[in-house]
């Protein structure tokens, strides 16, 4: 009787241990499924980047290779993450380390694209400073403005806005690129004729100098404007700013995506690693 009484606590411990191991295994399976699901956008985005062609003339900044590099990096991360999910038990620590290294690299790139990375410099392609340096370079800009003109953006704007009054035109929402390149800045106070044709004020005194410093004789965006359709405001600072804002927003969006995805994968892989180490002795 005494021996039976003494053995009963040990008999109770086994089911408890088995129950805990079963719970860990169940949670591990759920985390593995979730890790696989959140990695799918990486594959889709990498394919999209590889298939994306010239987009608003930004390829003139020599970014196609950068897009390909990011796409390949996302594919590698997708494969690594899922190899660890399906075969991680065989090489738990090496697999976890490989995923962490890759996610750290991609996360750093994402932070650089967003512009919050402390080590960001003009040497990091795709960062706001790097893009600004390229766009503000006169040699690059000559090629970019030619590309914008050949894309007939302003001609299409003029066709869409044909017949509108000045009041109706002002109610229309233009893109930063259309507003910066196809019409003079509002500060110039020019008289509307149509979307891409504007007259200087009738008297010199009505002319509002650009930024409050330049004059009608000394230059500025107001003087850079021309009603000649091949010129318009392509030489204006507002056109460069519009183009720069457009591409910076695009790369910033990619950066936000990379930051969020890599943080999610880091967290889920860390949880998987801990659960796998807890579950391993029970196998």
* Tens digit of each residue's pLDDT (9 = 90 or more) over 234-277: 999 999 999 999 999 999 999 999 999 999 999 999 988 888 88
pTM: 0.79
- For residues 228-256, one letter each, b for 16 or more C-beta atoms within 10 angstroms of the residue's C-beta and e for the rest, the string is eeeebbbbbbbbbbbbbbbbbebbbebbe
- Please name every residue paired with 191 in a beta bridge, in sequence order, or none if there are none: 199
pLDDT tens-place string over residues 80-99: 988 888 876 677 788 889 99
First to last CA, the chain: 34
In the DSSP assignment, the letter for residue 198 is E
- For residues 123-157, one letter each, b for 16 or more C-beta atoms within 10 angstroms of the residue's C-beta and e for the rest, the string is ebbbbbebbbebbeeeeebeebbebbbeeebbeeb
Q: What is the dihedral angle through the alpha carbons of 121, 122, 126, 127, rounded to the nearest 10 degrees?
A: 40
pLDDT tens-place string over residues 39-63: 899 999 988 888 876 567 888 888 8
Residue 209 binned pLDDT confidence (cut-offs 50, 70, 90): very low
* Structure-token pair, residue 155: 């001609």
């Amino acid at each position: 009787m005494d021996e039976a009484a003494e053995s009963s606590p040990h008999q109770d411990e086994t089911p408890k241990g088995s129950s805990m191991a079963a719970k860990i295994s169940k949670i591990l399976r759920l985390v593995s499924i979730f890790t696989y699901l959140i990695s799918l956008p990486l594959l889709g985005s990498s394919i999209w980047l590889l298939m994306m062609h010239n987009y608003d003339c930004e390829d003139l900044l020599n970014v196609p290779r950068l897009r390909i590099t990011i796409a390949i990096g996302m594919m590698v991360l997708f494969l690594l993450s899922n190899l660890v999910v399906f075969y991680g038990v065989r090489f738990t620590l090496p697999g976890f380390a490989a995923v962490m290294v890759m996610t750290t690299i991609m996360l750093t790139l994402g932070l650089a694209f967003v512009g919050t990375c402390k080590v960001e410099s003009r040497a990091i392609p795709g960062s706001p400073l790097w893009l600004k340096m390229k766009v503000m370079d006169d040699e690059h800009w000559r090629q970019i403005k030619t590309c914008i003109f050949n894309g007939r953006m302003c001609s299409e704007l003029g066709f869409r806005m044909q017949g509108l009054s000045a009041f109706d035109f002002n109610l229309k929402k233009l893109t930063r690129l259309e507003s910066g390149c196809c019409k003079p800045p509002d500060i110039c106070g020019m008289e509307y004729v149509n979307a891409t044709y504007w007259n200087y004020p009738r008297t010199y005194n009505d002319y509002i100098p650009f930024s409050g410093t330049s004059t009608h004789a000394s230059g500025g965006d107001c003087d850079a404007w021309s009603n000649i359709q091949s010129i318009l405001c392509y030489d204006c600072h507002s056109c460069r700013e519009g183009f720069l804002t457009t591409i910076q927003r695009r790369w910033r969006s990619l950066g936000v995506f990379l930051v969020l995805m890599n943080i999610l994968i880091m967290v889920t892989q860390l949880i998987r690693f801990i659960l796998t180490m807890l579950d391993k002795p029970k196998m």
